[in-house]
Structure 1
Amino acid sequence: MGAHGPIAGAGTPVFEAVELTLDYDTDAGAVRAVENVSLSVREGERLVLLGPSGCGKSSILKAVAGFIRPTSGRIRVRGRDVAGPGPDRIVVFQEFDQLLPWKTVRQNVEFPLRVARKLPRAEIRGKAEAALRKVGLERVLDSYPHTLSGGMKQRAAIARALVTDADVLLMDEPFAALDALTRRQLQEDLLALAEDLRFTLLFVTHSIEEAILVGTKLHLLSAHPGRTIASFDTAAFGLSEVGGRRFEEVSREVHDLLFSRPKAKEPAHV
């Protein structure tokens, strides 16, 4: 199951990062966050980035979103170089306050479609309600975010992302702040939506189990600066495989690769 190195797949990549290096400017100089990482994700694939804190997982996601400009290398979506944020990439963050508090759940989901101004009002409303039904929020359409639980807020954020029909859904530890039961339920919901909608996903997590469960591909990163350790094909694992022999074998292999390596040096100043 552990295929160390790039995993081949059929079709043209929806997005790819080629020899990506990311630096941050600090008072002490530029600090390298990610070094020479290449990724490739095709239609309907779910790529998970996993590694220790500070390895550059979120930095890669932000670079794909267009919020960070690469120091070197390039990122392409549908063959076009990423030059900044765009409607072809939608982000769901960990924080629960990503919804607009003065708008209802329905209005929050409608918001990106209204900003785009490409659809009639009735069609926007219908798309928003359909997306909310898919995530199980049809009963709280007219509620405000402050009345929702953390899990419900994340469902609303996912519905808002799905309604745009973006090329890539980007999720930065979206379930990390939730209790264990709610987290598992949302993992199940995400997998059901992926089966139904076949969206393309880049997902960041600190959890080995979640990484293997959620993704069809798993990319391991070293401690800072983040470099590729290995890649795994995890498409065969679903909820029924959690705790099974092969699932546990891959979990141990991933654990050993992450924690049995030499201690990372301090970030390189470049």
Structure 2
Amino acid sequence: MANLFGRTRPLDEARLVPTGETIGSYISYLDAQKAVDYLADEKFPVRYVSIVGNDLKIVERVTGKLSYPRVALSGAMTGAWFGLFIGVMLSFFDSANNAGAPYINVFTAVLLGAALWMLFAIIGYAAQRGKRDFTSTNQVLASSYDVIVAPEVAGEARRLLAQLPMNSNAQRPVHSTPDQGYRPPVQPPAAGAAPTRPEGWHDPYAPAEPAAGDTAGAENTDRPGQAPLDGPRRGQFPDLPDGRPQYGIRVEAPKPAEPEVPAPKAPENPEQ
């Protein structure tokens, strides 16, 4: 928008895109305008503020279809308004000579204006030969509007806008303290590699290691390297009073097979 009463910027500065810190990013221009109005109401020096639209687009909205009756009616209405203006202006100069009928000139001008503009509109529409048979409105829109402020006053502007109950998509700058020092960037893990665990991380599912000197716990386990099992091991459950096993059934181990003794061979007959 034009600045009628504010400070006029130099011509070279007006040709460049404003630079600074983005304190607000809005989808609608009205939201960006509201943010600047709020800064002005809070006595902020708005001469350091600029509104920049990103990704400009020309939008043409079709409002209807053209036809000869519609073109004639539109031309007649435009000519009537123009004739009314001319008639009122002429009535001021001719009021002394024609004091009895001051509205005759106005009525005549309205009729002549409507007739002439209707004729011109029909001729212009016929000359197009149907190349543009619709009416539309043009508008320049942007995908987002950034409120940019000079760096020396950006902190104060950001503090004031934080009190405005309106959403903004601007990213806040990250201020690092000097005692943090330099930290190398974290490289992403290679494909197929296991993710690195942070320092001090403890796996809750890892097997517990037996304490030093705890030999009883180490013996009471069937799996080396894991936590000892509670209770007796397998095969150490006592039998019932009647001799049956406490759990399951007892399977007797098979007796080892006796080795076969080869039969003695018959002596050979030397006479044969």
Structure with more of its chain in strand, by fraction: 1
TM-score normalised by structure 1 residue count: 0.19
